[in-house]
Amino acid sequence: GNSVTQMEGPVTLSEEAFLTINCTYTATGYPSLFWYVQYPGEGLQLLLKATKADDKGSNKGFEATYRKETTSFHLEKGSVQVSDSAVYFCALILLSNDYKLSFGAGTTVTVRA
Amino acid sequence: DVKVTQSSRYLVKRTGEKVFLECVQDMDHENMFWYRQDPGLGLRLIYFSYDVKMKEKGDIPEGYSVSREKKERFSLILESASTNQTSMYLCASSLGTGAQETQYFGPGTRLLVL
């Protein structure tokens, strides 16, 4: 079946550190891939997405590249801030699954000043 | 901006009670979704709806039902709440279906069943 695997957290970083959150997927077909972010006390919001192989999604200094050969969509940011503290979810959507989102377990990131 | 609102942020209920969770979106979206969020499990889809009066089971529909009488409103119903339904419940909506559709989420309702 279709599934998303994220690196386990929690992740704790200092401000201006480099952040990577690994995400790999298993899918029967060619999914679209998403990163959603959940700030404390809020619902999820879309951070970035990529709909085909080699696409790069980017937003708010975050980037992720759709790698079909490694079935991965790792999230990166070069210099994190305290305001980036949140839970990050990798997700996929697939025609064969009626376009329903499948989420990873989430990675909690805490950035310390 | 798309706005998805949920009727309660926090709710405490007793085992066996009937529980209603309400969700409203203000952008005339066709699709609405109910998820539950549990630590280590991410989000799991309970039910979704592509149109008024239409509903489809998600991955974990047992113990839940839904109602969509109006386009903007999607209700999740726990017919007889149980302690294993203690969770964070998130509602979402999207304009259409497809590989590029973004889902917009509400702030969540944290339900505690005693």
Nearest to A104 among B42, B90, B104 (CB): B42
Burial B50-81 (b: 16+ CB within 10 A, else e): beeeebeebeeeeebebbbeebbebbbebeeb
Contacts of residue B99 in chain A, CB cutoff 8 Å?
31-32, 51, 93-95, 99
- CA pair distance B24, A24, nearest whole angstrom: 33
Chain A positions touching chain B (beta carbons under 8 Å)? 4, 31-32, 36, 41-46, 49, 51, 89, 93-95, 98-101, 103-106
Residues 6+ apart with CB under 8 A from A55: A65, A66
- Element of type H or E holding B16: none
- Segment A88-98 shows an average pLDDT of 81
Query: Is the pLDDT score of A7 beyond 90?
Result: no
Q: Is B81 on the interface with A (CB under 8 A)?
A: no
Rounded distance between C-alpha atoms, residue B38 and residue A90, angstroms: 15
Tokens of B108: 């969540």
> Mean pLDDT in each 10-residue stretch from start to end of chain B (114 residues)?
87 97 94 92 92 91 96 97 97 80 91 97
Residue whose structure tokens are 């149980």: B82
Considering only CA atoms, give the Rg of chain A: 14
A-to-B residue pairs, Cβ atoms closer than 8 angstroms: 55
Q: State how far residue B68 is from chain A, nearest Cα, in angstroms.
A: 18
Alpha carbon separation from B16 to A78, B45, B82 (Å, rounded): 50, 23, 6
Question: A43–B107: do the CB atoms touch at under 8 Å?
Answer: yes
Instruction: Return phi, psi of residue B83, to 5°.
Output: -60, -30
Using one digit for the tens of pLDDT, what is the confidence trace for A8-56? 889 999 999 999 999 999 988 888 999 999 999 888 999 999 988 999 9
Mean pLDDT in chain A?
A: 92
